[in-house]
Structures are given as C-alpha cells and as structure tokens.
Amino acid sequence: MKAVRQPGGRMSFRWRDNMQLYLIMLPVLVHIFIFSYIPMYGVIIAFQNYYPGKPFFSLHDTDWVGFRHFIDFFNGPYFGRLMRNTFLLSFYFLVFGFWVPILFALLLNELKSGIFKKYVQTASYLPHFISNVVVAGMVLSFINTDGIVNAIVKLFGGTPVALNTEPGYFPAIYTITSIWKSFGWSSILYLAAMSSVDPHLYEAAKMDGANRFKQMLHITLPSIRPTIFILLIFAIGNLLSANSEFILLIYNPMVYETADVIGTYLYRDGLLGGNFSSGTAVGLFISLLNFTLLYIANSLSRKYSDYALW
C-alpha cells in the first residue's frame, strides 16, 4: 500500500493508488459479509422457543426463554461426554498432528531432485482433495473384520477385531486418518515461508562448517517460527471444533462413548430432532469458548514470543 508523507511527518494513504488491491479483496469481503456476518442475526433464536415460520422479533408471537436452552444443555446427560470427546479428539490431533506438516516441509525442503520433490508434493496433496465420504468408506472397509488391518493382524497370528465397534480404537482411527488427509496440504504454508529465506544465510553457514541438519535447525526452523506460532494459535482456537462431518460418516451408536462430539450431537438433536433453538444455543456456546481459547492463546503468544494475530 502506497503512503505519502505529509507536512509534520504524518503519513496518509492514497486510496486511488491502491484501488487494484481493494478490487482483488472485494469478492472475498463480500463473500465473508454475506455468509458469515448477515446470518449472525439468527443466533437470537438461542434465546427463544423457535420453530420454522415463527417470527424472530414479533412482540406477541415470539416466545422468549432466556438462557433456558443453555442451562438444559449444561444439565443434560450428554454434556460431560460431549465436551470430553470433542476436546480429546481435537487435542490428539493437535498434539500428534500439528508437528507432522512442519517436519514434512523441513524434509521436503532438503530434497535436491526437483522432479522427485514435485512428485512427493503432489502425492501428499491428493488426500486433501478426496471427499470425506470416500475417505470414510475406505476407512470402514479397512477396519472391518475382513479388512486389510485385520488381515495384517491375522498374518502375524493375532485375533481379528471389529475395530469399528470398539470405542477404545476410535480416537486413534480418527486421529491417524485426519493427519493423513491434512498433513500435505497444511505443509504448503511452511514451504512458502521457507522459500522466502535468504539463500546467503545457508551459504554463510556452510562456510562456517554447518552441515545440512544444523542449517535446517538454526536457519530454516527459526525462519518459519512466525508461521508456526500463528497456525498454532488458530489450532488452539479450534480446540473444541472436531471434524464432525467426518465423524458422522465413520461412527455408530456402539462407539458413541468416545466418538460422539458436539457437532454430531447438534446434527442429531438440532437438525434431525428439529430443536433449532437448542442447537443454536449449543453452537453459540462453543463459538464463545473457541473465541476465548483463541484470545488466551494469542495473548500468551504475544507475551512470550512477540508473535500474535493482533
């Protein structure tokens, strides 16, 4: 963005000189405004007994109930299980999956063969573009009693187990599949950050006797540290937002104990059950919790690392 220094040392921006940048941003801003901000007025039904066709703001026909739906959810029989499962599944993915794209990008950056590097990149991106429905079908076929996982178990003398009906195995299945599907695509930002590192730094380190591992450790990794911290803040802000769409496709009532999360509960109770007000209340509560986690993570990052979103 171009700026002009005014008398007295003040800077003023010339809007016309940046018109092309604003036009590029316009479609994205319009999309965000239409699909993210305009629908926000609908959260008001969390404080009403709403059903389709009922007015939102009528003085006579609107049934205001205050925080009743929130209280019912907190006192409900599934509150503890839903919160625990949602947090644990997201936490497992954060702990075991956050560092995988970083490590993959670091290793990929060390490859010298351009053709092989492009092949590995393309192969790692492909799972991201596979539909969740297809991935879920693959996973369910793999973990059946006659699937490839149990075939390997029998090959080594083990006893086949119906993994899709055992609650204890669900967190591992979800975490491994989510990491496999996302690590290649998530590495793009790290690779982009690595491409901006000054090559002279590597040449100077090589002259000082640093091998490739030390160059990666002392040059590449510190250079992408801002990107790592920013993405970590976003990941913490989504700690109560497990991939409900994928879970809906692979879970069943026999694994609700470890697989039922807030998103799947909202689908069953809010959409299928027609309890739109209750579902909106739960969604609003989780959004506020996620924002609180995001704010705390951003504040801690700004305090201890100088990297923050705002």
Give the pLDDT confidence of 42-57 residue by residue, as tens digits.
899 999 988 887 777 7
Q: What pLDDT shows up at residue 42? A: 86
Q: What is the pLDDT of residue 57?
A: 75
Instruction: Report the 3 state secondary structure along the chain.
Output: CCEEECCCCCEEECHHHHHHHHHHHHHHHHHHHHHHHHHHHHHHHHHECCCCCCCCCCCCCCCECCCHHHHHHHHCCCHHHHHHHHHHHHHHHHHHHCHHHHHHHHHHHCCCCHHHHHHHHHHHHHHHHCCHHHHHHHHHHHHCCCCHHHHHHHHCCCCCCCHHHCHHHHHHHHHHHHHHHHHHHHHHHHHHHHHCCCHHHHHHHHHCCCCHHHHHHHHHHHHCHHHHHHHHHHHHHCCCCCCHHHHHHHCCHHHHHHHCCHHHHHHHHHHHCCCHHHHHHHHHHHHHHHHHHHHHHHHHHHHHCCCCCC
Q: What is the mean pLDDT of residues 293-309?
A: 90
Q: Which residue has the tokens 């316009």?
A: 26
> pLDDT tens digit string along 59-118?
677 888 889 999 999 999 999 999 999 999 999 999 999 999 999 999 998 888 778 888
Q: What is the pLDDT of residue 250?
A: 93
Reported as a single tens digit per residue, the pLDDT across 142-198 is 998 888 998 998 888 888 888 888 999 999 999 999 999 999 999 999 999 998 888
Mean pLDDT of the chain: 88
Burial of residue 139 (number of CB atoms within 10 Å: 0-12, 13-18, 19+):
buried
Q: Look at the block and give the residue holding tokens 């497992």.
A: 92
Confidence of residue 4 (pLDDT cuts 50, 70, 90): very low
pLDDT at 247 over 90: yes
What is the model's pLDDT at position 14?
Answer: 67
pLDDT over threshold 80, residue 10: no
Q: How far apart are CA 274 and CA 50, in angstroms?
A: 10
Is the pLDDT at 11 greater than 50, yes or no? no
* 121 or 4: which leads in pLDDT: 121
pLDDT value at 7 more than 60: no
Find the mean pLDDT for residues 109-132.
Answer: 88
Bridge partners, residue 48, by sequence: 64
- Whole-number pLDDT of residue 140: 92
Kindly state the average pLDDT of the residues 194-210: 89
**Structural contact between residues 108 and 101, judged by C-beta atoms closer than 8 angstroms:** no
